[in-house]
């Protein structure tokens, strides 16, 4: 095929949706509702080289959190009590998509008057999906590097290798 089709695929692969409200890209550089999960990448609070890959499955609310080196998260107690990374991920998703959309996707019934996604989650343990989610994150970064814009790319500030952090 021609090179034109490759460019088209790249454009269509990662739709950019304006966030409902600003969110902290440094804390959660990547969040998406995809493949039946809320999933994303959360920075470690203490180590800039480490990120956590966290996900919550739609329907059964299975929690998963592992480092990018595929080690289990120590904060995910018993596999059913959310660690700080999962909470940060959920916060970022609500900021990005709005509570209603996230709740609908995960099949969560948030009690009337509540704006806390967790109050409607009945969590369980999910299989480790860190490898596929992290691969999606890397594709997302590759998409951002497409030189079709002169605008700043705030997501890349998270990566020390991008030169944003000295
Ligand atoms: Zn965690």
| Cα 4 to averaged position of ligand 1 atoms, centre (Å) | 41
| Cα 149 to averaged position of ligand 1 atoms, centre (Å) | 34
The yes-or-no verdict on residue 110 having pLDDT over 60 is: yes
Residue 5 lies in a domain: no
Residue 91 lies in a domain: yes
Residue 160 lies in a domain: no
Q: What is the pLDDT of residue 20?
A: 77
Q: What is the pLDDT of residue 55?
A: 96
> Range of 43's domain?
17-144
Alpha carbon separation from 82 to 101, 123, 135, 157 (Å, rounded): 20, 8, 23, 27
Query: Can you tell me the distance from the alpha carbon of 157 to that of 127, in angstroms, rounded to the nearest whole number?
Result: 30
| pTM over 0.75, yes/no | no
Residue 11 lies in a domain: no
Residue 30 lies in a domain: yes
Give the tens place of pLDDT for each residue, 53-107.
Answer: 999 999 999 999 999 888 999 999 777 889 999 999 999 999 999 999 999 999 9
Q: What domain count does the chain have?
A: 1
**Mean of the pLDDT values across residues 120-147?**
82
Ion ligand 1 nearby residues (CB, 5 A):
52, 65, 73, 75, 83, 85
């Amino acid at each position: 095929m021609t090179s034109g089709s490759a460019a088209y695929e790249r454009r269509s692969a990662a739709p950019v949706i304006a966030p409902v409200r600003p969110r902290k890209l440094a804390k959660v550089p990547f969040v998406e509702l995809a493949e039946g999960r809320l999933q994303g990448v959360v920075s470690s609070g203490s180590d800039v080289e480490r990120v956590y890959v966290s996900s919550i499955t739609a329907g059964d609310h299975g929690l998963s959190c592992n480092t990018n080196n595929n080690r289990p998260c120590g904060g995910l107690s018993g596999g059913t009590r959310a660690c700080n990374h999962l909470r940060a991920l959920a916060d970022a998703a609500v900021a990005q998509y709005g509570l209603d959309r996230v709740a609908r996707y995960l099949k969560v019934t948030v009690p009337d008057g509540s704006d806390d996604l967790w109050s409607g989650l009945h969590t369980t343990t999910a299989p480790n999906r860190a490898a596929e989610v992290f691969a999606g994150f890397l594709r997302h970064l590759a998409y951002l590097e497409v030189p079709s814009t002169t605008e700043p790319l705030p997501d890349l500030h998270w990566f020390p290798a991008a030169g944003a952090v000295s």
